Amino acid sequence: MASPDRAADDLTALRRAGVVAVLRAPSAAAALGATEALLAGGVTGIEITYSTPDAAAVIAEVRRRHGEAVYLGAGTVLTAAHAHESVEAGAEFLVSPGTRPGLAEAMLATGVTVLSGALTPSEVMGALDAGVHVVKLFPASLGGPAFLKALRGPFPDVPFVPTGGVNAGNLAEWLAAGAVAVGAGGELCSATAMATGDWATITTSAAEFAAAAQTAREPA
């Protein structure tokens, strides 16, 4: 299990990754294939969700194969058991779609970086009260970059990671609005591509996301 002081380092790693691929794979094998394709395209942030079969085993295998070359986490964390087993498997961050104080406490107890879902100002305040490190703005597609920019008014120091509706074309807008990183699911790694083993398409998409993130962060 990670030590409590690991979280600060992991927030730096999150910023460095820039893009986190949210994998909702139909099988463990598809998750592993998609991970290889994403890394080949330059996306190093990988979130294995608990909607993926054998999620903890997938996390362990990705960690075994790639070590520190991947910024690896668990998503759709809904129970304390999810949190603990995924960290034991090698997860460096945990993501919950929403915020519940008891679950947040269990996630924080693992010592890794915790991203907890919120959308409205009141929900953001609830996530902050729970002590999470990063607010996952979800579903971000409902408000777009302008909504994130508005939230940054009352919450200028809160690290936000918008997820949902992020694509290579608008990624720069999200970062300009104040996101520390973005989460991307089907727009980056489609269910069809995973189901059919179309790894080339996923690698191409990953390269587009990685290039967009790099360009967005280059000095003007």
147-174 pLDDT per residue, tens:
999 999 999 999 999 999 999 999 999 9
| Given the residues 92, 136, 187, 208, the one annotated as active site | 136
Whether 67 is in a domain gets the answer: yes
pLDDT at res. 10: 57
Whether 65 is in a domain gets the answer: yes
| Spatial CA neighbour of 117 closest among 105, 132, 107 | 132
Two tokens, residue 155: 């919450």
CATH of the domain at 151: 3.20.20.70
The arithmetic mean of pLDDT across residues 57-79, rounded, is 97
Whether 220 is in a domain gets the answer: no
Whether 56 is in a domain gets the answer: yes
Query: Is 92 a known active-site residue?
Result: no
The yes-or-no verdict on residue 102 having pLDDT over 80 is yes
DSSP 8-state symbol, 132: -
pLDDT at res. 156: 95
The single residue listed with the structure tokens 């998503």 is: 75
Query: Comparing 215 with 218, which gets the higher pLDDT?
Result: 215
The yes-or-no verdict on residue 212 having pLDDT over 80 is yes
Whether 33 is in a domain gets the answer: yes
- Reply yes or no: is the peptide bond before residue 139 cis, omega within 30 of 0: yes
**Dist CA 17 CA 143 (whole Å):** 24
Whether 25 is in a domain gets the answer: yes
Whether 153 is in a domain gets the answer: yes
Whether 1 is in a domain gets the answer: no
Query: Is 123 a known active-site residue?
Result: no
Q: What is the pTM of this model?
A: 0.94
pLDDT digits (tens, 9 = 90+) for 37-50: 999 999 999 999 99
The arithmetic mean of pLDDT across residues 84-101, rounded, is 97
C-beta separation of 206 from 21 below 8 A: yes
The yes-or-no verdict on residue 9 having pLDDT over 80 is no
Give the H/E segment covering residue 113: strand 113-118
| Given the residues 47, 61, 187, 208, the one annotated as active site | 47
Q: Which domain holds residue 93?
A: 6-215
pLDDT digits (tens, 9 = 90+) for 114-150: 999 999 999 999 999 999 999 999 999 999 999 999 9
**Dist CA 73 CA 89 (whole Å):** 10
CA distances from 127 to 83, 133, 169, 184, 187 (A): 17, 9, 29, 21, 26
pLDDT at res. 7: 52
Into how many domains does the chain fold?
1
- Write the single-letter amino acid at 31: A
